[in-house]
Amino acid sequence: MAKKKRKKDSLGKCMILIGSITVLNLMGISYGYWNGGLQMIASLSTGKMDLEVIPRNDQITLTPGSTGSLSYEIVDYSTIPVKFGEYEVMASEGIYVDYNDGNVLVEVPKDQDPGDYSFEIELKYYQAND
């Protein structure tokens, strides 16, 4: 007879445990519904690309048949890593302009008439995704 009493006691404890879990679960769901659900607060911060070109010499005088070089330094104040990508040269007709790692090479052919010539170089830098 003692064995039957233990079985009834353990069945009662199990029912109390399952009932408690169910009640607590229902209370949590009810509170979430009453509270308006889930609220998420987040912030996002982006970096900036900030480069400064510092010319060492910004004007040169060349005669027909000569070459010259303009040099500059690029200072990186960016908060993200950047890398050099490519360049594009837009020059007056009659002069040759090329770019080489911080130096702009300018050549005036021998048969070119004297005058003022201009050029622009667009240096393209990109975010380094290493």
| Tens-place pLDDT, residues 6-57 | 666 778 888 888 999 998 888 877 777 666 665 668 888 788 889 998 888 8
- The per-residue pLDDT for range 46-88, each reduced to its tens digit, is 888 899 988 888 788 888 889 999 888 989 999 988 988 888 9
H-helix segments, the chain: 2-35
**pTM, full prediction:** 0.55
Domain boundaries, the chain: 1-42, 51-127
| Distance, CA of 98 to CA of 100 (rounded, Å) | 7
User: Is the pLDDT at 98 greater than 70, yes or no?
Assistant: yes
pLDDT the model gives residue 61 = 85
Q: What is the greatest pairwise CA distance in the chain?
A: 123
The contacts of residue 123 (CB under 8 Å, 6+ apart) are 53, 74, 84, 87, 99
